[in-house]
Chain A
Amino acid sequence: MGRVAGKKLLSIMALVAMVGLLLLPIAVSLPSLAIGADAPDAVKQEGEQKYEKGRDVYYKTEGLAIGAPAPKTVDGPKDYPRYNFESRVLLWFANQQHLYYGSFVLAVPIFCMVIEFMGVVTKDKAMAKRYDQLAYDFIKISLTAYSLTAILGGILIFTFLTLYPAFFGYLSSIFRPVMHIYALMFVAESGTLYIYYYGWDKMRDGFLKWIHLSMSVILNVIGTLLMFLANSWIGFMMSPAGVDEQGRFLGNIWHVIHTALWNPLNVHRILGNMAFGGGVVAAYAAYKFLASKTDEDRAHYDWMGYIAMALGVAFLIPLPFAGYWLMREVYAYRQQMGITLMGGLLAWLFIIQATMIGILFLSTNYYLWQALGRMRGAEKYQRYIKYLVFILCCGYLVFITPHTIVMTPAELKAMGGQQHPVLGNYGVMSAKNGGINVIITTTILSFVWYMRGNKVSTVSWSKFGNIFMGVFFACAYVNIIWLAIYGYYIPANVRVGLSVPQVATTLSCLFFMFPLNSAMMKGAKQMGAIEWGKISVRSQYALIMLATAFTWMMGLMGYIRSSVRLFWHVNEIMRDNSPWAYTHTVGFAANMISFNVLFFWVSILFVFWLGSLGMKKAPVPAKAGVPGGAPQPAAGH
């Protein structure tokens, strides 16, 4: 008894220590934040004598220009020292690899939190154990990746210091008040992660398990704050605030952090990281599935891949909407930036992005259709898959139609102008919004089919429920397509607003149809068990494709976001005067992204291998999937 109480005390102390670690950076930063708008009067008066006044380029407020102006760099060894290689490409590589690993190690703890929580609340003891083991395996992988992230972060800083000293010096002078907070957050993150990982076995049951789960929440809060801080740097580079026209810091660090694009970037990155993390873990499971020698292993990794895919896709579905918000804010911040991105110089990269998004959804749907094959009784849905393929294909073709078409001058002449009377209509936002919403709604429909694959509803209102669901989806498609067409007949500002009912239609399918389906399937008659491991190998390649597409798209979007600044280090504040202040060709960028993706996958395979050296095998129930004791792969299923 005394021992248990001691453990509890120790756990609570650990939790308190974590909260303390979380608060430490804030406490440390308090004196440095005092400079600025909220500084004591004495300090202000002294400052007014010493410094000129400046006007914030974004917030339009006045403040004391306490920082140095942005350096006017010149091409030479002082501002741009270099190896005998393009410095920008080196930085690109270091940055991208750090971002991949950073995203992974931020996403996996969120996964662990969700999976551990599912384990805690699941009543089935065997399932609870499996969830717990899965979460533990994930965090173990993440631990190795964590040290690699830190190493890559170091390499990135050295690359900045060595190749772009003037720019990095300026950026760190602006962010000086929070630079050390960032570093201390890393300490807090590491400390929390280690306590969370090493305390796993000691806090396995009862109240201690809840304490352990709480630790994962704190770990994720720290991780998210870390990411927000890092986002503030890129937000500042794209849409600077808190400085005057010369780039002088005006003393309000909150303005510097809270730039026009900070919040949309934060939301987009959280969702993106989660979807990416899901993809990577799903690919890991797929690889292990393909390499498995026993049915038991295949069942385990099939299940693992499904969970990772479901979590990843759960965050993928809202991702286009977050991206839409980000682009809207970009347009609102600077019209030129928006046009450069979506209608001008970088427009073709967005077509590639649309292609990748389509691949993600196509892969997900394909996986789900394959997964129907491991359920007895799901045959009734399989015969209709061809119609879903057609709908998906139409939505996808519209979604990827370019506005700026690549063509020879002869083709241009034959077409009779830059705009094609058919393709031109598909190449604009109204049609594309319709396209992506059709794709997402179809994905939701595939999920609904999967969730009811081997079941027959026994509720008295099942016939009405089925008709209602059918009509709901049909109306959703009609509404989305009608709004896409209607968008051509109304002013652009109203058209932009039409995306709201389109998205609402798609989301209402998600939020109404899933619960309705779950209600209908409560106590449903099972036509057969889910036979984990009896899924086609094609499905696993779909998971690998999903992960590769995620990785490639992350690289692409990072490149687009960065290159939209064109020849600016900090948009309209600090000019890039290096010889590489030009936009790469689409071909070069694509090759570079592919190289980054390849490097990441080779290195993460190494991480997986390291993780597998000491991996404990998950105890799988001998008859997983039998009716009554069937493993429930995801919430609501």
Chain B
Amino acid sequence: MKAIMSLGALIGVAGLLLLSGMIVGIVPSDTVRLIEGYMPVQVIAELILFVAGFTGISYMMSAMGMTFPRFWQGISCWAFVLLYLKFRVYPPIPFSVRAMYGTVSLVAVFMWVSANEEDWQKFKQPIMNVLDAKTGGNRLLRYAYLIILPILIGGFSYNAMVPKSEEPIELRTVHPAPPASTKVHGKTYTLQTSQNPYRVNPEGKYDQEYSNANIVEQGMGRLMKPNANPWDKDAQGYLKYVREGGEIFYQNCHFCHGDNLNGRGLHAFAFNPIPANFTDPGTIAQLQETFIFWRVSKGGIGLPNEGFPWASVMPPWEQHLTVDEIWKVVMFEYWHTGYYPRTWD
């Protein structure tokens, strides 16, 4: 048991030192890299390691007769979460989400320190001591709080109320609801039932399973499947259409959406927000192929009322591409990212 706890303590100390180094800037923030694609699991795994580390540290300190007071355990734990979110996770997390996470963490700390009466008594003892002010030091602290707290609250209030020249917060609707049907080049497409005419098997029939089996492997490197290379001169059917879609993409779209389809094209950073990142699981992977067809065809100017604040400069591609070209480019996007379009069957 002691060995496990010692290991935990070691992990905890190492983790805390690394994090502290990153906060003060001694340790480069990419010392332990968050790897794209694995970041979400990595973050949770790191937090689990930290909890194991804290448990180990707490155990070892108790064993050495230096019990860390429950009050400071709670406060440190909360402070750790706030600092971790602020300095460890990148790109930076917007304040609104950090505020949500911080509040939940505070509630969790409260639940932990008040889960039983003994812990709760231990936790609130330092607070009660200051309020009771039976010693000189506590009396001094109480007076200090009496002065500092109103100043702090006043400062926060002033800061919240003072007029600022910052741009206002925007609640952007990323995926506005599409219309039931859309008219492109004179033909009406019902979004719920239309299919990509180029997503076909060797017999020329619509076959999502066949096309799914030939997309790029997801993960680091995004490798093409063996015998499924659209740039093979003998490629026919689905793969040939993917290649044609790719050609259209690199002639028209990659300037903004990037050659890796991650929204970081040559012109991307001229816009705010930057163009959609198709490799993110929250974009095309969430949507039906017809949704993408509608968005590509109609562009930013065709966003519906609820697409507030209509922050998209994408041209309505129906003015530049044929229907067939749009379907092919949409199919290429799914092929390249390794995602499957959403279906209802």
In the complex, which residues of chain B have a beta carbon less than 8 angstroms from the beta carbon of A419? Answer: 276-277, 280, 282-283
Whether, in the assembled complex, A431 has its beta carbon less than 8 Å from a beta carbon of chain B, the answer is: yes
Cα(A456)–Cα(B309), bound, Å: 61
- Find out whether the CB atom of B116 lies under 8 angstroms from the CB atom of A411: no
Whether, in the assembled complex, B260 has its beta carbon less than 8 Å from a beta carbon of chain A, the answer is: no
- Find out whether the CB atom of B177 lies under 8 angstroms from the CB atom of A415: no
- Find out whether the CB atom of B112 lies under 8 angstroms from the CB atom of A418: no
- Find out whether the CB atom of B306 lies under 8 angstroms from the CB atom of A417: no
Cα(A139)–Cα(B340), bound, Å: 54
A373 CB contact (under 8 Å) in B117, B169, B175, B263: B117
- Find out whether the CB atom of B272 lies under 8 angstroms from the CB atom of A536: no
In the complex, which residues of chain A have a beta carbon less than 8 angstroms from the beta carbon of B140? Answer: none
Whether, in the assembled complex, A290 has its beta carbon less than 8 Å from a beta carbon of chain B, the answer is: no
- In the assembled complex, the CB of A362 is this many whole angstroms from the nearest CB of chain B, namely 7
Closest A residue to B278 by beta carbon equals A419
State which size class the interface on B falls in.
35 or more
The proximity string for A residues 388-414 relative to B, scoring 1 for CB distances below 8 Å and 0 otherwise, is 011011101100111111111111111
- Find out whether the CB atom of B104 lies under 8 angstroms from the CB atom of A400: yes
In the complex, which residues of chain B have a beta carbon less than 8 angstroms from the beta carbon of A335? Answer: 177-178, 191-192, 288
Whether, in the assembled complex, B342 has its beta carbon less than 8 Å from a beta carbon of chain A, the answer is: yes
- Find out whether the CB atom of A343 lies under 8 angstroms from the CB atom of B175: yes
Whether, in the assembled complex, B234 has its beta carbon less than 8 Å from a beta carbon of chain A, the answer is: no
- In the assembled complex, the CB of B32 is this many whole angstroms from the nearest CB of chain A, namely 14
- Find out whether the CB atom of A418 lies under 8 angstroms from the CB atom of B273: yes
A489 CB contact (under 8 Å) in B41, B218, B272: B218
- Find out whether the CB atom of B112 lies under 8 angstroms from the CB atom of A421: no
- In the assembled complex, the CB of B85 is this many whole angstroms from the nearest CB of chain A, namely 10
Query: Known interface pairs A345-B176, A386-B112, A536-B117. Does A415 touch B286 (Cβ–Cβ under 8 Å)?
Result: no
Whether, in the assembled complex, A538 has its beta carbon less than 8 Å from a beta carbon of chain B, the answer is: yes
Whether, in the assembled complex, A493 has its beta carbon less than 8 Å from a beta carbon of chain B, the answer is: yes
- Find out whether the CB atom of A421 lies under 8 angstroms from the CB atom of B39: yes
- Find out whether the CB atom of A428 lies under 8 angstroms from the CB atom of B170: no
- Find out whether the CB atom of B192 lies under 8 angstroms from the CB atom of A382: no
Whether, in the assembled complex, B163 has its beta carbon less than 8 Å from a beta carbon of chain A, the answer is: no
- Find out whether the CB atom of A403 lies under 8 angstroms from the CB atom of B344: no
A403 CB contact (under 8 Å) in B95, B114, B276, B282: B282
- Find out whether the CB atom of B168 lies under 8 angstroms from the CB atom of A336: no
- Find out whether the CB atom of B167 lies under 8 angstroms from the CB atom of A410: yes
- Find out whether the CB atom of A339 lies under 8 angstroms from the CB atom of B178: yes
- Find out whether the CB atom of B39 lies under 8 angstroms from the CB atom of A407: no
In the complex, which residues of chain A have a beta carbon less than 8 angstroms from the beta carbon of B18? Answer: none
CB contacts under 8 Å to A, within B262-288, are 263-264, 272-277, 280-283, 285-286, 288
In the complex, which residues of chain A have a beta carbon less than 8 angstroms from the beta carbon of B96? Answer: 405-407
- Find out whether the CB atom of B115 lies under 8 angstroms from the CB atom of A386: yes
Query: Known interface pairs A406-B94, A408-B170, A536-B117. Does A431 touch B340 (Cβ–Cβ under 8 Å)?
Result: no
In the complex, which residues of chain B have a beta carbon less than 8 angstroms from the beta carbon of A488? Answer: 218, 281, 285
- Find out whether the CB atom of A369 lies under 8 angstroms from the CB atom of B116: yes
Whether, in the assembled complex, A492 has its beta carbon less than 8 Å from a beta carbon of chain B, the answer is: yes
CB contacts under 8 Å to A, within B46-88, are 47, 51
In the complex, which residues of chain B have a beta carbon less than 8 angstroms from the beta carbon of A475? Answer: none
- Find out whether the CB atom of B91 lies under 8 angstroms from the CB atom of A416: yes
Whether, in the assembled complex, A479 has its beta carbon less than 8 Å from a beta carbon of chain B, the answer is: no
The proximity string for A residues 147-183 relative to B, scoring 1 for CB distances below 8 Å and 0 otherwise, is 0000000000000000000000000000000000000
Query: Known interface pairs A369-B116, A393-B108, A414-B92. Does A347 touch B168 (Cβ–Cβ under 8 Å)?
Result: no
In the complex, which residues of chain A have a beta carbon less than 8 angstroms from the beta carbon of B274? Answer: 413, 416-417
Whether, in the assembled complex, B101 has its beta carbon less than 8 Å from a beta carbon of chain A, the answer is: yes
Cα(A421)–Cα(B264), bound, Å: 14
In the complex, which residues of chain A have a beta carbon less than 8 angstroms from the beta carbon of B116? Answer: 369, 372-373, 379, 382, 385
- Find out whether the CB atom of A412 lies under 8 angstroms from the CB atom of B273: yes
Query: Known interface pairs A413-B272, A424-B282, A492-B341. Does A339 touch B94 (Cβ–Cβ under 8 Å)?
Result: no
Whether, in the assembled complex, B14 has its beta carbon less than 8 Å from a beta carbon of chain A, the answer is: no
CB contacts under 8 Å to A, within B108-163, are 108, 111-112, 114-117, 120
- Find out whether the CB atom of B340 lies under 8 angstroms from the CB atom of A421: no
B306 CB contact (under 8 Å) in A340, A414, A492, A538: A340
A407 CB contact (under 8 Å) in B169, B191, B218: B169
In the complex, which residues of chain B have a beta carbon less than 8 angstroms from the beta carbon of A337? Answer: 177
Whether, in the assembled complex, A568 has its beta carbon less than 8 Å from a beta carbon of chain B, the answer is: no
Whether, in the assembled complex, A603 has its beta carbon less than 8 Å from a beta carbon of chain B, the answer is: no
A-B pairs with beta carbons under 8 Å apart, 22 shown: A334-B180, A344-B176, A345-B306, A362-B111, A369-B116, A373-B116, A387-B51, A389-B112, A390-B108, A394-B44, A403-B282, A406-B96, A413-B272, A417-B276, A420-B93, A421-B39, A422-B89, A427-B282, A488-B281, A491-B342, A493-B342, A538-B114
Given A336-B180, A405-B97, A413-B274: 16 more A-B contacts, CB < 8 Å? A335-B177, A344-B173, A373-B116, A385-B116, A389-B115, A393-B104, A394-B47, A405-B94, A414-B91, A417-B273, A420-B93, A421-B280, A426-B40, A490-B340, A491-B342, A583-B306
Taking Cβ atoms with an 8 Å cutoff, the residues of A that contact B are: 331-332, 334-337, 339-340, 343-345, 347-348, 355, 358, 362, 365-366, 369-370, 372-373, 379, 382, 385-387, 389-390, 392-394, 396-397, 400-428, 430-431, 485, 488-493, 536, 538, 566, 583, 586
Taking Cβ atoms with an 8 Å cutoff, the residues of B that contact A are: 34, 36, 39-41, 43-44, 47, 51, 89, 91-97, 100-101, 104-105, 107-108, 111-112, 114-117, 120, 166-180, 191-192, 208, 212, 218, 263-264, 272-277, 280-283, 285-286, 288, 306, 308, 340-345
